[in-house]
A = this chain, B = another copy of it.
């Protein structure tokens, strides 16, 4: 059975990735990296893990990186991930932003650090399975906002008027990671809604790469633990045409659900899943079409998509181990 290592396994995306690997019928945990918790048993991450006798103890991220695992999930910070020296063989799925942008000169401005390894950036492929499956062993996993917006808009490319596109997005707090900050303490989030980072160009670079243009994009921080919804406004395409293009794009997909007429996407139905849902609405007075995408920022927006990418790269069935079926209260 293929083996997996998780770097940064004590963070939100690290834990979510580990959780999927643990439930994956065709992956086995070989190494768990966490610089802050190296030396602890795996149950330091969650007391339930004490029942799993086969889990290795936590090691440093460097040790996990060189563990020889068939697939390495890198759940480190952008800067830390950028400095990563991939092992000579095996698959690496990087959930950070470090390997998403081809032009590494942009990192200083948009990520706040000089990219330490511009020479090997081209070795990485950016992969969003439904639209651009992985083509190599080093995989840059898309960001959560980008995944939602691109799933909604990419199939409409060429027909919509790029200059008209607005993406108004709302995300739960886990998207900001586990490091405490003034913006993410509960007293600043509960009973609140706040837009932030208007023009997050690091996200726009990814959107431009996948769409051919950068929309106007405003993210808002929601008082929910997880979940993301992107409300996308476009001109130049009729709602029925947009619906047809999206249905064609995701036909047969077990991951992306086109909702039937009249059903609204909602965060509550996609959290704790690895799927996304889409719906299209007409706005007759303006001739505008509205496409709304919902996903779990930690599922399809991070760990679920990472496992999906790993499945493809490993030659497994694409959705093995993903959480896609069922009903949701």
Contact = CB atoms under 8 A, between A and B. Distances in A.
A109 interface: no
Nearest to A11: B329
A275 B48 CA distance: 9
B325 A186 contact: no
Nearest to A214: B285
A286 B187 contact: no
A157 interface: no
Contact of A283 (B50, B198, B257, B298): B198
A190 B186 contact: yes
A271 B191 CA distance: 9
Given A180-B181, A266-B193, A327 B15 contact: yes
Interface centre among A18, A180, A204, A277 (most CB of B within 10 A): A180
A53 interface: no
Contact of A46 (B173, B180, B269, B271): B269
A248 interface: no
Given A185-B180, A204-B285, A191 B193 contact: no
Interface in A106-122: none
Interface string A19-49: 1001100000000000000000001011111
A16 B187 CA distance: 13
A83 interface: no
Interface stretch (A134-142, A144-152, A225-233): A225-233
A227 B191 contact: yes
A174 B329 contact: yes
A44 B259 CA distance: 11
B216 A325 contact: no
Contact of A186 (B189, B199, B326): B189
B216 A267 contact: no
Contacts of A269: 46
A259 B267 CA distance: 31
Interface in A58-111: none
Given A15-B329, A194-B264, 11 more contacts: A12-B329, A19-B327, A19-B328, A180-B181, A181-B185, A191-B224, A193-B227, A193-B267, A194-B265, A198-B290, A222-B222
